[in-house]
Structure 1
Amino acid sequence: MTYKSSRDGILERIENFEKDSWINITDPSIEELKEVSQLCNIPIEFLEDPLDLEESARIEYDEETNCTLIINDFPTINNNNQFDSYITIPIGIILGTDYIVTVCSQSGDFLENLIKKNVNTLMKSRFALEILFSISTQYIEKLKKLNKQRLKIENNLRDSLTNKQLYDLMEIEKSLVYFLTSLKANADVITKLFRTNSVKLYEDDKDLLEDVRIENNQGIETTELYTRILNSITGSYSSLISNELNNTMKTLTLFTVFLTLPTLVFSFFGMNVILPIADNDPSSWIITLIIALIFVIWIGLVLSRRRIF
């Protein structure tokens, strides 16, 4: 889709490629990439690299076409999981002589926000900074959602502990790892924008770039904080699980001990040999029970003094 700012400052969708327009490409084919490359005089590599999900954030300049490529990672929902976890994928922002092009394998909410915001396509550098700022705010929003999910799971864990809840915590932790890695890579790109000469920045642009850096740093700090909290929670519940298992084994061991002693007594008096108690004595079974009970009370006192239970 192609957009261009009107004289009234409203971002309008247009059918053809025009000078000073914004070309937004999502999940394109090879033919579409070649067409955009030829019409806009953009290196084909600049259009292909952001489509690689493993591509790292960076800035690259091509002197022959006078084009600058800015690759940043943005968060998106992981469609392979029923739980609302996130991954990060790259988006390419290409600043050409006459065009600004964004290329990505998936569409992002932040691009729709830019359309509603009516950004000016004539100011290409500022347009790119608006995209970077919108990406940084996306991280903050997604982090708030992850934290709400964590609090909900934590409240449920206090009532009952299930494998599903632990798996959900693992998904949140995985999302935070994606966020922290991408945010730090984006921070390097933002730092390079302050020093690069290929992207011309005016004073207002520098102020906006500073806002982008502040927002990105806030995302890094928030992600690190949530990661530490999550690690603390998982560590605590791992200890609780281990403690519950120890208590269960302890209870089973005590039952085994108390049941073994009467069995030994009854087995001894059940042997087919001469015993101190006469076989024809009607009170012999009572004596056997008393002996077994004495053993049980004795072992119970010994275990109680050692604070085993």
Structure 2
Amino acid sequence: MLKIYKTDVAGKTNEINQFEKGYWINLSTPSNDELKKVSQLCNIPIEFLEDPLDLEESARIQYDEETNCTLIINDFPTIDASNHQFDSYITIPIGIIIGTDYIVTVCNQSTNLLENLIKKNVNTSMKIRFALEILLSISMQYIEKLKLLNKQRLKIESNLRDSLTNKQLYDLMEIEKSLVYFLTSLKANADVITKLFRTNSIKLYEEDKDLLEDVKIENNQGIETTELYTRILNSITGSYSSLISNELNKTMKTLTLFTVFLTLPTLVFSFFGMNVTLPIEDKDPFSWIITLIIALILVIWIGLALWRKRIF
């Protein structure tokens, strides 16, 4: 889908239908024809438009001297569509192309990230400032999604105190996976932000530098928050793994004790049930009582020995 936006003299961003200088072109899930059209009309290398559509593309900044275009690729968080039972997140790339006359954004799916910028009425003619606004919105998206993940973690943690189920453990795994995506992408985005401070292809004014500094601060906050939540989650999963192992050990210990106490009488009864001469008379009416007493004494003796060793 191809959409073109322009900021009017009143400062309002509107969608238009024609290509003109100073406009913002947004491509979401574009077709090959749309990519070729934008590449030809805006004098942008076709690979600058195609690279951000690759989900495995890493965050980076690239400059093309022939067309005087700068490509900025950043990762931003989005809902994992493959998981229908839990709101986990992945990160996908978005491309920001700063050309001589246009600014172009490319992504393989539509996102409310850019729609929110339209509501803020950013100035599309100020291409570098607009690109920095997009980067700032991406960093703020991470902070917002991290808060949602933390709320989900707290809810799962409160439920774990009452009962432990496989679903809760799977949900914690999804949160951990989301945090891994976030941390990897935020660190890659941080490298891009650092390069923007010293790149020669983008001229930054003082206000732009201040805005870029805000982007860096928000991104670093996202990295620190993600690392904190990752450590907390690892601590929780480690603690509950220990609890599960402890409960399993208690269960096995109980079953072992039952086995021991049930085995001892069986051995006694089996011994006196053999078809051989024994010290007890076969026709003695109290022979079965004597057998029970021997079994009971043996059980009590073993029980006392285990109790002294604090086995139970």
Question: Would the TM-score normalized by the shorter structure come out above 0.5?
Answer: yes
Tell me the SS of whatever aligns to 1:61.
strand
The amino acid that maps onto 1:25 is: L
Tell me the SS of whatever aligns to 1:7.
coil
- Equivalent residues in 2 for 1:30-179 (5 A)? 30-82=32-84, 83-179=86-182
Counterparts of 2:285 and 2:163 in 1: how far apart (Å)?
53
Write out the 4+ residue segments of structure 1 that deviate beyond 3 Å after TM superposition: none
Percent sequence identity is 84
Q: CA RMSD in A?
A: 0.9
The amino acid that maps onto 1:197 is: N
Gaps of 5+ in 1: none
Counterparts of 1:115 and 1:281 in 2: how far apart (Å)?
102
Tell me the SS of whatever aligns to 2:161.
helix
- Equivalent residues in 2 for 1:1-309 (5 A)? 1-82=3-84, 83-309=86-312
Counterparts of 2:110 and 2:134 in 1: how far apart (Å)?
13
Counterparts of 2:173 and 2:39 in 1: how far apart (Å)?
42
The amino acid that maps onto 1:41 is: N
**TM-score under structure 1 length normalisation:** 0.98
Q: Deviations over 1:259-282 (max 9, x none)?
A: 000001111111122222222222
**TM-score under structure 2 length normalisation:** 0.97
Counterparts of 2:202 and 2:217 in 1: how far apart (Å)?
20
Counterparts of 2:60 and 2:45 in 1: how far apart (Å)?
16
The amino acid that maps onto 1:46 is: F
Number of residue pairs the alignment of both structures matches? 309
Counterparts of 1:109 and 1:76 in 2: how far apart (Å)?
10
Structure 1 range deviating more: 58-67 or 179-188: 58-67
The amino acid that maps onto 1:243 is: N
Deviation at 1:247, TM superposition (A): 1.1
Tell me the SS of whatever aligns to 2:61.
strand
Gaps of 5+ in 2: none
Counterparts of 2:201 and 2:111 in 1: how far apart (Å)?
26
